[in-house]
Amino acid sequence: MDVKSSVLERYSEGAKAQQADLCCPVDYNTDLLKILPKEILERDYGCGDPSRYVRGGDTVLDLGSGGGKICYIAAQLVGELGHVIGLDMNQDMLNLAQKYKQEMADKIGGDRVNFHYGHIQDLALDLNAADIYLKEHPVQNKDDLEKFDAWQIKQKHNQPLIADNSIDLIVSNCVLNLVDDTQKLQLITEIFRVLKPGGRVAISDIISDEFVPDEMKADPELWSGCISGVFQEKEFLQKFIDAGFYSVAYDKWDNTPWKIINNIEFRSVTLTAVKPEQSTALDAGHTVMYKGAFASVTDDKGYVFDRGDRIAVSDVHFNALRYSTLVKDFIFIEPEKSPCCASTWVDSLFTVRAIADSKIGSSVGSGNKPASSSFCG
Ligand SMILES: C[S@@+](CC[C@H](N)C(=O)[O-])C[C@H]1O[C@@H](n2cnc3c(N)ncnc32)[C@H](O)[C@@H]1O
């Protein structure tokens, strides 16, 4: 089955007229919908609201932006310093989104949204540039094909549509499931590539409780209807962990399934994750305590946080936890501000920090000075 053709066809129809069977009820922030055109609101084929994760100043990339609804919501949240990029492979959807670009810029008070023609599993390739190349160099034989392949490699290297480490937040609303299974690993690798270190992911999508059998995968209607290509619920989390993300979590999980087919439950979730920082981690006296109510929790690296223990963490790890969905589960104890007293973080230091060394704002005791510090001179 040709996944791409069935998806293209279905969403071209969806751009021109509302497709009721593709709609999944979502609670958006109604204040942010007020300025959106009726036509865009009607062509809503999302299954969640990843725009809730947008922060002021973010550069946001919306994978499979469709009619542009999430982009125009995000544009209201990023503020003057932020920017939003919508990316889709369907020209009809892009046309719908672009049609309101100026009107939305006037209403929001700034032109902060751009739409790109591309595949979400190949974020470097600019499909407009590819179309121009192919018009000038039609592929008629194997040699032409090899030249086109070489052009793509050069183009993606020299002028990537989305550059490495350039995005603060990737959002997506009911799209990842539409990518062919053979390209899903590449898709998650691309998400990792374009995010800045410390960049975040908020992906709303449909998942299944059981793996979808081959006979359902072979049905183009079920595929383009956001059913056949979904990740199984544990697999979805694992793929992001395997790609190198941390703080991978389901931040939202619809208890009531969207659809039940052949006794398989298909439901909407929102997955959040963070790309690790690349800066050198320091031991500057940061401490966290797991609040409970479990006896302990273990992170993806195997580190254990026992309830009530003051655990020494690096500055990078401290901030990662503080800005993750785990913030409510931990107590954060900042060191005294003393930039000269920090040493390079060593993983074996991942132990309980003495209470005397983690008093808040106190200058009593040994403070936050690590035993050996390469930064204290
Ligand atoms: C279910 S609709 C969701 C649209 C939009 N996110 C929303 O919330 O209304 C899926 C969208 O993803 C686009 N899409 C599907 N597969 C894609 C791919 N591989 N690359 C880029 N866009 C894709 C479709 O063209 C369509 O616009």
Q: 10-residue block means of pLDDT along the chain (377 residues)? A: 86 88 82 96 94 97 98 97 98 97 96 98 98 97 97 97 98 97 97 96 97 95 94 98 93 95 97 88 90 93 90 88 87 76 73 80 40 36
Single residue among 228, 249, 274 that ends a domain in this structure? 274
Q: What is the CATH number of the domain that holds 9?
A: 3.40.50.150
Q: What is the CATH number of the domain that holds 334?
A: 3.40.5.100
| 3-state secondary structure at position 325 | helix
**CA distances from residue 320 to 126, 172, 203, 304 in whole angstroms, order as listed:** 33, 22, 19, 16
Same domain, 92 and 199: yes
Assigned domain for 367 exists: yes
Q: How many domains does the chain have?
A: 2
Closest CA to 343 of 377, 317, 309: 377
The finding on whether 70 has its CB within 6 A of some atom of ligand 1 is yes
Same domain, 15 and 102: yes
Same domain, 287 and 254: no
pLDDT digits (tens, 9 = 90+) for 200-232: 999 999 999 999 999 999 999 999 999 999 999
Same domain, 288 and 270: no
- The range of the structural domain enclosing residue 362 comes to 282-374
Could you give the angle at the alpha carbon of 270 between the alpha carbons of 267 and 275, nearest 5°? 145
* Closest Cα to atom 10 of ligand 1: 175
* Closest Cα to atom 5 of ligand 1: 66
Confidence at residue 211, expressed as pLDDT on a 0 to 100 scale: 98
Same domain, 25 and 80: yes
> For residue 129, what is the enclosing H or E element?
helix 127-136
Kind of pairing, strands 195-208 and 231-232?
A: parallel
Same domain, 241 and 288: no
- Amino acid (1-letter code) at residue 11: Y
Same domain, 198 and 260: yes
Single residue among 233, 257, 274 that ends a domain in this structure? 274
Single residue among 247, 274, 301 that ends a domain in this structure? 274
Confidence at residue 361, expressed as pLDDT on a 0 to 100 scale: 57
Same domain, 108 and 244: yes
Ligand 1 midpoint to CA 105 (Å): 23
Closest CA to 269 of 225, 217, 341, 208: 208
pLDDT digits (tens, 9 = 90+) for 315-353: 888 988 887 888 899 999 988 765 567 788 877 656 888
In our burial notation (b when 16+ CB lie closer than 10 A, e otherwise), range 51-84 reads bbbbeeebbbbbbbbbbbbbbbbbbbbbbeebbb
Assigned domain for 148 exists: no
**Integer Cα distance of 297 and 287 in angstroms:** 16
- In the DSSP assignment, the letter for residue 122 is B
Strand partners, 114: 85
Which is the closest atom of ligand 1 to the Cα of 179? 19
Task: For residue 19, give both structure tokens.
Answer: 């497709």
Same domain, 231 and 343: no
Q: What is the pTM of this model?
A: 0.89
Ligand 1 midpoint to CA 12 (Å): 10
Same domain, 69 and 178: yes
